Amino acid sequence: MSLKHKVGIIGGGIVGSTAAFYLSQEPTIDVTLFDDGTGQASSAAAGIISPWLSQRRNKEWYFLAREGAKFYTQYMSDLSRIVDTQNIYHKTGTLLYKKTPKLLDKLESIAHKRLVDAPEIGDISHLSDKEINQLYPFITSRDDALFITGGAKIDGEQLINGIHSILKKNNQLIKTSVSKIEYMNHQWKVHTKHDILMFDSLILSVGAWLPQLLEPLHYHVDIRPQKGQLIEVQSNLSTGDLPVIMPVGESDIIPFYDGKILIGATHENDEGFNLTPDHTQLEHLKLMASDTINSLAELPITRHRVGTRAYTSDFLPFFGEVRDLKNLWVASGLGSSGLTTGPIIGKILVDWLLQKETNFDSYKAQPNNYIKPITWEEL
């Protein structure tokens, strides 16, 4: 009989897969990841890791995003023990545009202030359109931009596939949907279509789908879905070392490998869990991006991706314990920066589960602001 602590993780996006990876390295833990993959945000995502110049004012979010971006170096080094990370993560810098020269100056001064606590930002340069043109002749925008060398890109799809393939080999991944969870005799029962499995602890990292697992246990969950779409085009540029380009608006340009360029993404609040591509929106993304690189307008869309982001009503993520639900850990609400914060959130959940201290212990009770018991009167 196994004396190992059995941990079930439901949801194999970036949070759940990271947690599963770290737990799979622990000799005292027996981990199983459940994932049905439908609508997953992590695999659909664009992959920009560059939180320092965000003008979001919330300090908790910024601290988490900054630490999340910093954690990537350790994360990739840890992962590289079992996954080929060569084409997954690249620090090639970020080029940022703003509506007016005044706003660009403001951004530059924010960057210099934040550099003190975030040396990961790297070198900061204000580039004129001519300087940009010398470095990247295919960029046709006539505006100045800010360049930071610390910005990075991550291929969410490759990252998830890499971790899943190792877990699958070790029989630690079940590609299925969990229909129900319940707590009985000090254990969590996980119901799938074909099985009922028992665990000592559970991590729920199901993104936008958290209400569906917690409402049957009589909890309200402050999470709503947001549809995100992006496109891929194939160029003849040598894209591997190109920076991420963030023009004004929604159409960020993320050059990947072998000429592949991602453009996105949309933020659609009224579409629920709809995963149907909207070709008008997809063409619009391309059109917007071609304001910065004219030649993009001529390239056919080779692929599109659609995913569902999870949002709380105050746009902040949460992760930690739910009061009165023993040995149950949750994370959700990562919104549009979850590739940046997801790995560190997955790692912190693992540290907490292993009863280690972290710099984030004050976040532990946060889920209770978003997950509330349904009262008798409401039933």
How many of the other CB atoms lie within 10 Å of CB of 302? 11
Q: CB 131 → ligand FAD: shortest distance, Å?
A: 26
- DSSP letter (8 states) at residue 142: -
At its nearest, how many Å lie between ligand FAD and the CB of residue 369?
A: 17
Q: Which is nearer to ligand FAD, 131 or 250 (CB)?
A: 250
- Closest to 126 in 3D by CA, of 146, 97, 100: 146
Phi, psi of 98 (to 5 degrees): -135, 160
Please report where in the chains the tokens 């299925």 appear, as a residue: 176
> Rule CB under 6 A: is residue 209 a binding residue for ligand FAD?
yes
How near is the Cβ of 134 to ligand FAD at its closest, in Å? 27
Stretch that binds ligand FAD, among 1-9, 33-41, 133-141, 280-288 (CB under 6 A): 33-41
Q: Mark the segment that binds ligand FAD (CB under 6 A) among 104-112, 140-148, 206-214, 278-286.
A: 206-214
Q: Which one, 37 or 259, has the nearer CB to ligand FAD?
A: 37
Judged by beta carbon, residue 51 or residue 122, the one nearer ligand FAD is 51
According to CB under 6 A, which one of 37, 240, 259, 373 is a site residue for ligand FAD? 37
Q: How far is the CB of 256 from ligand FAD (least distance, A)?
A: 12
Q: 218: which residues sit within 8 A by CB, 6+ positions away?
A: 373, 374, 379
SS3 content of the chain, % helix, strand, coil (to 5): 35, 25, 35
Indicate the residue whose CB is closest to ligand FAD.
338
Options 6-14, 72-80, 82-90, 162-170: segment touching ligand FAD (CB under 6 A): 6-14
Place of tokens 């569906």: 212
Provide the CB-side half-sphere exposure for 84 (13 A, CA).
4
**Residue 35 is a binding residue for ligand FAD (CB under 6 A):** yes
How many residues sit in the footprint of ligand FAD (CB under 6 A)? 43
Write down how long the chain is: 379
Smallest separation, CB 309 to ligand FAD (Å): 5
Report if residue 337 touches ligand FAD, rule: CB under 6 A: yes
Binding span for ligand FAD by CB under 6 A among 164-172, 291-299, 318-326, 338-346: 338-346
Which residues from 118-177 bind ligand FAD, rule CB under 6 A?
156, 177
Select from 372, 378, 348 the least CA-distant residue to 75: 348
Q: Are 121 and 52 in contact (CB under 8 A)?
A: yes
Residue 250 sits in the site that holds ligand FAD (CB under 6 A) = no
- 66-125: which residues touch ligand FAD (CB under 6 A)? none
- For position 349 contacting ligand FAD by CB under 6 A, the verdict is no
Quote the CA–CA distance of 261 and 233 in Å, as a whole number. Answer: 5
Identify which range of 207-215, 268-276, 279-287, 289-297 contacts ligand FAD by CB under 6 A: 207-215
> Is 334 near ligand FAD (CB under 6 A)?
yes
Task: Confirm or reject binding of residue 48 to ligand FAD (CB under 6 A).
Answer: yes
DSSP string, 185-243: TTEEEEEESS-EEEESEEEE--GGGHHHHHGGGTEEE--EEEEEEEEEEE-SS--TTPP
Judged by CB under 6 A, does residue 340 bind ligand FAD?
yes
Task: Count CB-CB contacts under 10 A for residue 117.
Answer: 13
CB of 377 to ligand FAD, least distance (A): 28
Classify the phi-psi angles of 327: left when phi > 0, otherwise alpha if psi is within -120 to 50, otherwise beta: left
What's the rounded Cα separation, in Å, for the pair 285 and 302? 14
Kindly list the residues in this chain that would bind ligand FAD in the complex (CB under 6 A).
10-16, 34-42, 44-48, 156, 177-178, 205-207, 209, 213, 228, 230, 264-265, 307, 309, 334-340, 342
